[in-house]
Amino acid sequence: MAGNIFGTAVYYDADCNLNALKGKKITVLGYGSQGHAHALNLKDNGMDVTVGLREGSKSWQAAQAAGLPVKTTADAVKGADVVMVLIPDELQAETYEKDIAPNLKQGVYLAFAHGFNIHYKKIVPPADANIFMVAPKGPGHLVRRTFTEGSGVPSLVAVEQDPAGDTMEVAKAWAAGIGAGRAGILETTYRQETETDLFGEQAVLCGGVCALMQAGFETLVEAGYNPVNAYFEAIHEMKLIVDLIYEGGFQTMRNSISNTAEYGDYVTGPKIITDDTKAAMKNILADVQSGAFADEFLADYKGGFKKLYAEREKAANHECEKVGAELRGLMSWLKK
């Protein structure tokens, strides 16, 4: 039954009613990582699901082969009671203006798996639309795999507009329909999800961790140490530590490492993550909160992703990537 974790409402299958979706015409836009998982899981739960894709999409045949009806985005939106938008953030606003908005029925339930475009008002739906979010806290392949195994991935749910008065019930039904009710459905808001997600990606999960590992690799190599040793110590073994934290938090990780490593953790961590680092994180959060990052990202997209592609190429050519590729070739278990 429903619970509470540090002020956050948590729902399970018993708190959700799939009938809130049954009988409704459902459209899932996109058939990538999340799109295929949402569409197939709902289909397996007896829902009337159509996939909407752009003309010529390479996913068209894959969706059809899975037994799903496929239409162009505009045609899939026409007459749909519930539309879930699962295409990349940078494509959503222009797709909305061109293919979604002109074809939305009155009183539609319009949903997203990330709050980016709604929160920053890149998409402004009509006042009669019911706006909700279901955001699984895991990649689509995991959402699909766990569902087929009888479990699920926890998901966030949020409601932004609720003229019908039952949008949260529809959101919970969607979350339960993709398997999240087996693990936990946590209530949030569009603002909370969007800003914490972007900050986490930039300051910790991707930007912070990758920059930290790369700086550690460079420091060792510049000091004359062999790149192989540097790669193992600064990059490869990160997974061992993160897996332990994933399984049981910092305490489990610290119980599993040597006393030497634990002592170094306590005394050296604060020398790396200083007050200046925390101040930089606050500036990053401020850019996320103000929408400055969103505008910068979308401006780069509209300019042909020049910065994104340049940084991608630069990162791909870094020495640590070349060393890592050679070392991973020795690891037979990675090929399975």
CA dist 258 and 264 (Å) reads 10
| Contact predicate 91/112, CB 8 Å | no
Strands (E), 63-188: 70-72, 82-85, 109-112, 130-136, 155-161, 185-187
Q: Which residue has the tokens 């007050």?
A: 275
DSSP 234: I
Burial pattern 168-197, b for ≥16 Cβ within 10 A else e, equals bbbbbbbbbbbbbbbbbbbbbebeebbbeb
* Range list of β-strands (E), the chain: 3-5, 8-11, 25-29, 48-53, 70-72, 82-85, 109-112, 130-136, 155-161, 185-187
Starting at the edge strand that comes first in sequence, how are the strands of the sheet with 70-72 ordered? Answer: 3-5, 8-11, 185-187, 155-161, 130-136, 109-112, 82-85, 25-29, 48-53, 70-72
How many Cβ atoms sit within 10 Å of the Cβ of residue 252?
A: 13
β-strands 3-5, 8-11 pairing: antiparallel
* Rounded Cα distance, 83 and 76, in Å: 9
* 256: helix, strand or coil: helix
Query: 187 has which bridge partners?
Result: 157
For the four alpha carbons of 79, 58, 206 and 263, in that order, the dihedral sign comes to: positive
φ and ψ of 239, to 5 deg = -60, -40
Strand pairing report for 109-112 and 8-11:
unpaired
Contact 29/52 with Cβ under 8 angstroms? yes
Give the catalytic positions in this structure: 114
